[in-house]
Structure 1
Amino acid sequence: MKVRRIRAGALVVAGAVVLVAGCSSGSGGSSAAGQKVTLDFWGWTPGYEEAVARFNKTHPDIQVNFQKTASGTKGGYTKMLTAAKAGNAPCLAMVGYETMPSFAAAGALQDVSEYAGAHKKKFAQWTWNQVTIAGQTFGAPLDTAPMGLFYRKDLFKKHGIDKPPATWQEYRAAAEKVHRADPDVYLGTFGNDPYTYAGLAWQAGAKWFGTRNDAWQVSLDSSANTKVAGYWQRLLDDKLLKSHPSFDPSLYKDMAAGKVLSDVNAVWNAPILASSAKGTAGKWAVAPMPVWDADKPAHGNDGGSATAVMKGCKYPEQATEFAMWMSTDKDSLNTLIKAAGIYPAATAGQSHPALDKPDPFYGGQKIYDVFKRESAHIDTSWQWGPTMTQASTDLSDGLGLAGKGGSPLPDVLSGVQSKTVGELKRQGLNVTTR
């Protein structure tokens, strides 16, 4: 399938005008009434396979074959795009919101607007915008990912931290206090996950992408971004953070051993931490992530994904039916909340009983209460660009080096800015900086 270049198209992503390379729309097909169809579905998150099994039991005419892949940034997206280019992509794929514009640019998504439109009101508007480009809808939003502070209650108390830091100023003060008392102990960690870092930038209003006059704007090295980078760089310079590769076993070993006392991370980190540090059950709690201005609190978002319909799907109507079911069905959401720690994008899902249950690992705390409150203070105008595969790889490399004492973070952002502008131009897209 050839991808035709569009010099200037009004493609709406997250409520903004976006320019991407497009693909001529294919209508796909739909099964005759009563005909059994099988849909392939690629993804990696825990709970997906169980949710699919529930769907298959209640939908005998639509059977979904789930295939677990590597996570998107670990090769899953490359596999999906390669399959799309070869014309043998699955009907359905798990695609993060940050990657939807890149898949659209590659012509890898199928327009299912005629089947999806009736479901729009079931979702928060900004999440619907994540799966809609140029008025075309390419799947169903599944979840959002408000961030919080996961912390050891017992060790905070031991080190005289009476309450979790509410601001980044208090966070630094607590980091100094902990490390001064014991040089082998750190308040927090610094990793190389680009989307965790994006959540920190998002919180501070440090936009990365925008559009104006039919051109992409790239601003990873803006003053707002430099503010965030400078804050974390000073913590690194002063040896107040322990550096780990994100989600590495070494991180959880240190957390379980009481060497790292907290982690600023997304809601979906809750079950990961619980399964990775089982011996510390009951000792953890969740607080809101620290903010820059206590009088005007703003929080970050680290993730969120869609069940996307891939280009060439022969049964787009049935694929859309499954995607919407997965995001809205009570049993599906119950499974995904428990196994994957999602915070639903469907508005009804945000009142799901599973969100109100005390969590034993977190000392019986109803941790979703924290994320519910934070969600009202997340800037929903954040926009992703069409080259996030490249940008996230470059940023991950830079974050890893910075954590080891290499190039400082402001320089890392300048480098990613330059490479991102270059990649946009290489793809034939209009681009400016701001």
Structure 2
Amino acid sequence: MSTFRKRATAGAAAVLSLSLVLAACSSGDDTSATTQGKVQLEFWSWTDGIQQQVAVWNKAHPDTQVKYVNAAGDTVYQKLRAAITSGNAPCLAKMDGMNLATFAADGLLTDITKIAAPYKSRYTAAAWNAVSPGGATYGIPMGSSPLFTAYRADLFQKYGLKAPTTWDDVIAAGKAAQRKDKNVKIYNMAGEDPSTLVDLSWQSGAQWYKVAGDHWEIGFTSPEALRAGDVVQRLVDDNLASNASYADPGVFKTWDLGKTIMMTTSTWQLPIYDTNFPKSKGEWQLADAPLFDPAKPQTSSNFDTVGFLKGCKYPDRAAQFATWMSSSKESLTALTDPASKSGLFPAVKDVSPYVDKIIPKEMFNGKSDSAQIITTAASRVGEQWQYGPDYASMYSEMQKQWGKVMKKQMTVKAMLTHLQEWVLADLKHKGVKAVAAGS
């Protein structure tokens, strides 16, 4: 898990609040001017394989040279903040979606809305949302991780189960499996990781954060959010989920040994399972992610982005590089090759050229079309989800409450109610206009 950092001063958020709501507003100078002559850009990342692609770019683009800096480490976002404050920040940095939104709200990024507009059509709408919190664009999508299902087909057959189509099916399958073996679990929810609730809320159509005119609407207690919370609550109440910690090196055993028989997963994790599931290799099968409404099939995804930091002198050249890296066939063919060890899955609209080779063939039993399932997942990521201006700090607060939910010391509904109140108070304190959804 990443460690989420406290935001900068409330004053910075107040200044930026409107630019996070109105796409036409800019957080800085006009960045649409065309750069002339030779330039050098600095790019911080920690993705394997990127350095080699930077070298490919540099060879073909002598006028736009990119200096790659390996910024791996738990304190990378702290270092980026310090670099921006001191005026020594790189032009570009890898960022996850929630931290990009928070950096934008704190006035630490460059608004590239005009520059980025010609590249928007290359990426999925959900991916573009991740770099455009509130409408203004602060980065270029880098990679996605759409969710689908992996399950122990051998054990599903043993317990007389079918691959779940809906989340109600998951609950029913968990109960049916326990009637055969009281110790088996259908799913895993770690005590330190509330991502299950995020994913389910996204899949159910919830909008925890939504831009509405000149303000944010906060919807942690909407019917869609509570519907997602109810699934988590039933998994907890009926003891259907294991609680293996993702910080424990032995976490893989719960699936490899058949103690937990299903998971939602994504592309970057597949080679990890191939290495860490020696006993169950060949017994797994992929299926579409469970749905809330089969008439409106929808899944969720995390997104990696390339953020444009405050002070970037050549954002037009930076956009050319970032877009080439994350959308050109040349770059993506290399980065999606397992040999690159990048784990990157594209955020572009057509992922079909990059799917087959990322699937570890010995891992799955071949009884489902794994490539089609992954391609379908990429096309089903809900487009309504937005990262709000305090998403990272909200997530940290949610982590504190999540452990109580897993221990049955707090209900999911109570946690969502708390988060609703917490976010409204936090945004008010920071000078960002926000109201409860439906009010």
State the TM bucket, normalised to the shorter chain: 0.7 to 0.9
1:389 is aligned, of 383, 387, 392, to: 392
Shift of 1:393: 0.7
| Structure-1 residue corresponding to 2:176 | 177
Where do 1:175-324 residues align within 5 Å? 175-191=174-190, 192-246=192-246, 248-294=248-294, 296-324=295-323
Where do 1:348-387 residues align within 5 Å? 348=350, 350-355=351-356, 359-360=360-361, 361-364=363-366, 367-387=370-390
Amino acid at match of 1:183: K
Native 8 Å contact 2:221 2:417 kept in 1 = yes
Shift of 1:173: 1.7
| Structure-1 residue corresponding to 2:412 | 409
Native 8 Å contact 1:145 1:343 kept in 2 = yes
Shift of 1:421: 1.5
| Structure-2 residue corresponding to 1:156 | 156
Shift of 1:275: 3.6
Q: Please state whether the residue corresponding to 1:305 is helix, strand or coil.
A: strand
Tell me the TM-score normalised to structure 2 length.
0.84
Q: Give the unaligned 5+ runs of structure 2.
A: 1-7
Larger mean Cα displacement after TM superposition, 106-115 or 388-397: 106-115
Amino acid at match of 2:388: G
Q: Distance in 2 between matches of 1:217 and 1:114?
A: 26
Amino acid at match of 1:384: Y
Amino acid at match of 1:43: S
Native 8 Å contact 2:112 2:139 kept in 1 = yes
Q: Distance in 2 between matches of 1:47 and 1:197?
A: 32
Native 8 Å contact 2:271 2:360 kept in 1 = no
Amino acid at match of 1:155: L
Shift of 1:113: 4.4
| Structure-1 residue corresponding to 2:423 | 420
Q: Distance in 2 between matches of 1:172 and 1:283?
A: 22
Number of residue-to-residue matches in the alignment: 421
Where do 1:63-142 residues align within 5 Å? 63-70=66-73, 74-113=74-113, 115-132=115-132, 136-142=136-142
Shift of 1:291: 1.4
Larger mean Cα displacement after TM superposition, 420-429 or 271-280: 271-280
User: RMSD of aligned C-alpha atoms?
Assistant: 3.1
Q: Please state whether the residue corresponding to 1:314 is helix, strand or coil.
A: coil
Where do 1:42-61 residues align within 5 Å? 42-61=44-63
Shift of 1:279: 4.8
Q: Distance in 1 between matches of 2:282 and 2:164?
A: 20
Displacement over 6 Å in runs of 4+: 28-31
Q: Give the unaligned 5+ runs of structure 1.
A: none
Shift of 1:347: 2.7
Tell me the TM-score normalised to structure 1 length.
0.85
Q: Distance in 2 between matches of 1:220 and 1:28?
A: 37
Larger mean Cα displacement after TM superposition, 322-331 or 58-67: 58-67
Amino acid at match of 2:311: G
Native 8 Å contact 1:221 1:413 kept in 2 = yes
Shift of 1:411: 1.5
